[in-house]
Structure 1
Amino acid sequence: MKASRLLQLLLLLQVRQRITTTELAERMEVSRRTVLRDVEALATAGVPVYAERGRNGGIVLLPNARLNASHLEPRELEALSVAGLDSTQLESLGLSAVRESAANKIAARQNTALNHPTMPRLSELVLVDSSPWLAHSNSEVDVAELASALRQRRRLRIQYRRSAEEQPSTLEVDPYGIVAKSGRWYLIADDEGTGRLFALERLSAYETLDAPAALRPDWTLRTLWRVLKEHTEILGSIRVTARLRDNRLDLARRVLGARIDDVSNAENGWCTVAIRYPSLESVRQLLQFGDHIEILTPQEARERIVQLARDLAERHSTPSL
């Protein structure tokens, strides 16, 4: 444990060269006294590090020191191989600590490799956060345990509730792996030879069976995910046109994304948008725009919106109990 802590201390100093004792203690989750003892142990071993006293003091590593402490461990390489996961997802896989360790090693290596030591690293200027706004995971399944079970390449018996069902069904599936998409986890598996997405938030239990997973030849997690993703994001053949207040166009682009097929120039505070849907019932999504939208065509879409609006009005016409 101490050896690991000393390496972490070296990596932090190689990146920053000077850090206060208090900050080091907080980063390493130890006491200031422990930090000072570790610095003394490193100095005794010949590492050019020392403690500076005074108001602007701290722990200092000599600028000319070059420490070869950037070799990555197997678990750290695994953490980097799933780059793009947010902190919550990394925590779910049990990779938060090793990801931070790998990042420190890379930062230490970059610090000595840059031609201009004062130039900021790209990681200081670009931040990637793949988690969705105002969302949290309510999965009953431990993602790290599931990922470990998938390494066995065995068939799974799962308890899964489809979106229109109240109770879960029992299925036996052949898993390819799991995917993190927009802050949600999905199990990607064949169900009777057909690829499917299973949202982990609706997967209540699973069991690893003795039979090996019967995966289709030449299919991988990535190839199957690409096909399923394209099928899920299909725009549809129904083209709905609507008048939309131009100050709601940015919101519409965020909500509808690529479903917006065309936008006309705004006139008198309104613009005309064309939206593609796979079914007429999908127009209920447009109710969230309230009085900022008017459906123009097709007539069936207008009538469906009228029906939905009347139903809402009737539901809210009497006080709630």
Structure 2
Amino acid sequence: APGSPSLLQLADLVLVDSTAWFADSEAGVDVSDLASALRHRRRLRIQYRRSAENQASTRVVDPYGIVAKSGRWYLIADDQGNGRLFALERLSSYEQLDAPAALRPSETLRTRWAALKERTEGQGRVSVTVRLPENGLDLARRILGNRIHDVSDAENGWCTVVVRYPDIESVRQLLQFGDHIEILTPETARERISQLARDLVERHSTPAS
């Protein structure tokens, strides 16, 4: 209608980033419906469950758009002025409010995504390369989730996987794979996992006191 604000193009609201974060999950809301709703540039009231919580909570957010990252969809929005990634499989419902979205001047979906992506990837300062049997990849996804940065094609039944950790000490998580894993690099990670394994052997070589 004359005088009404023009709708934004979907290309300004949906961004597909095909580079690897390893995830395999389904969106909890219809992505196309949400994308269409975002064209109105209004605030959203969402029901969202954080990964560490059992129940969803209600929050009001200012959305920039949605991003697809290796099979997982995210709503990119400001939550009380702070940029956030909301995984759509944990977003159970949303409602458009009458108020326009309060977005940062000169910021777009792409600039907000770039900043959030850099912040998220910056949490993994140590890249650890490991070798896993191909049939162990499903277990790796469940245990490691988004810490997996890259997975090679299988060769002779084995895959090379790059895992990102905030520090070397975090490699103790890889003990869950038992003898189905080998750390290739860096050498400091190999040494740490070797020391942890020796400590386990020593602790279990005598009866418990």
Contact 1:131 1:183 in 2 (8 A): no
Equivalent of 2:92, from 192, 195, 204?
204
| Matching of residues 118-133 of structure 1 within 5 Å | none
1:215 lines up with 2:103 in the alignment: yes
Indicate which of 65, 68, 84 corresponds to 1:180: 68
Equivalent in the alignment of 1:229: 117
Q: Return closer, same or farther for 1:192/1:237 CA change in 2, 3 Å cut-off.
A: same
TM-score, scaled relative to structure 2? 0.60
- TM-score normalised according to structure 1 size: 0.41
Q: For structure 2, list consecutive stretches of 5 or more residues without a partner in the other structure.
A: 1-8, 141-147, 152-161, 205-209
Cα distance, 1:303 vs structure 2: 8.9
User: How many corresponding residue pairs?
Assistant: 169
**Structure 1: runs of 5+ lacking an equivalent:** 1-76, 86-128, 259-273, 314-321
2:55 aligned partner, one-letter code: Q
CA contact (8 A) 1:160 1:170 kept: yes
Q: 1:257: which partner in 2? A: 150
CA distance in 2, matches of 1:282, 1:167: 31
**Does structure 1 residue 293 correspond to structure 2 residue 158?**
no
Match of 2:79 among 191, 204, 208: 191
**Structure 2 counterpart of 1:194, one-letter code:** N
What's the % identity of the aligned pairs?
53
Please say if residues 130 and 183 of structure 1, whose CA atoms lie closer than 8 Å, have aligned partners that are also in contact: no
Alpha-carbon distance in structure 2 between the residues aligned to 1:199 and 1:217: 25
Q: Which has the higher strand share?
A: 2
One-letter amino acid of the counterpart of residue 201, structure 1: E
Q: Is the 8 A contact 2:48 2:91 kept in 1?
A: yes
Amino acid at match of 2:67: V
Task: Indicate if the aligned counterparts of 2:41 and 2:101 stay in contact, CA closer than 8 A.
Answer: yes
The correspondence for 1:154, drawn from 20, 23, 42, is 42
Query: Aligned partner of 2:74: which letter?
Result: Y
The 1:257–1:134 alpha-carbon spacing in structure 2 relative to 1, beyond 3 Å, is: closer
Shift of residue 170, structure 1, vs aligned partner: 1.2
Give the 5 Å matches for 1:87-126: none
Offset from partner CA, 1:93-126 (integer Å, 9 cap, x none): xxxxxxxxxxxxxxxxxxxxxxxxxxxxxxxxxx
Retained in 1: the 8 A contact 2:175–2:193? no
State the 1:84 CA deviation: 6.1
How far 1:174 moved relative to its partner? 0.5
* Structure 1 residue 287, shift from structure 2 partner: 3.8
Q: Deviations over 1:164-187 (max 9, x none)?
A: 111111111100011111111110
SS at the partner of 1:146?
helix
Kept in 2: contact 1:157–1:170 (CA 8 A): yes
Asked which structure has the greater RCO (Cα within 8 Å, sep 6+), the reply is 2
Q: Tell me how large the CA RMSD over aligned residues is.
A: 4.7
